Structure 1
Amino acid sequence: MEYKFTTTEELLTFLNDELLSAAEAAEVLEISKARLGQLVKDGKLITAKEQPKMFLKSMLLEKKDELESLRKKFRPYDE
């Protein structure tokens, strides 16, 4: 995916809307920060910035859909 910005303001707005911290990412995915770290370590989730860890919201939402379908498949008793 390619992003283009014509002004610094557009870039800053994008970054404020799309970049999430590790704590925010764990909250969106409904997982612990330890599990988030394991997903990154296993290469199943890519960070936008390594230190401090930052994630793109769009990538997290895709991963959330995947995790929810896996929960339904392997943890049907949770419903």
Structure 2
Amino acid sequence: MDRDELIRIVNYEILAVPEVLEELDITNQALSSLIERGKLVPVKEVGRTRLFLREDVEKRKKEAAELKGKYRPFD
């Protein structure tokens, strides 16, 4: 794997907190709750910076949609 390919992969597959918030359409407080409950686990934490795998975020988004359909079917 060359440097350019690695950069492309990191830019697509790794999400920072603002990107996660946008993707899941949630608040920072809701994200903190997901992390505390183990529903979404950062792959790396440096100080206050957290990084997530896109695959994990998309999985959580799918789970949230399923739960919404189950418990809030009229929304």
Give a deviation string over 1:34-62, Cα, whole Å, max 9, x none.
11111111111110211311111111111
Larger % of strand: which? 2
> Counterparts of 1:57 and 1:14 in 2: how far apart (Å)?
11
> Counterparts of 1:29 and 1:69 in 2: how far apart (Å)?
13
% identical equivalent positions: 34
In structure 2, which of residues 32, 40, 59 is the aligned counterpart of residue 37 of structure 1? 32
Residue-pair matches, total: 73
With the length of structure 1 as denominator, give the TM-score of the two structures: 0.83
Which residue pairs with 2:59 in the alignment?
A: 62
Matches within 5 A, 1:1-79: 6-51=1-46, 52-78=49-75
> Counterparts of 1:74 and 1:30 in 2: how far apart (Å)?
18
> Counterparts of 1:32 and 1:10 in 2: how far apart (Å)?
32
With the length of structure 2 as denominator, give the TM-score of the two structures: 0.86
> Counterparts of 1:49 and 1:18 in 2: how far apart (Å)?
13
The runs of 5 or more residues in structure 1 that have no matched partner are: 1-5
Secondary structure of 2:8's counterpart equals: helix
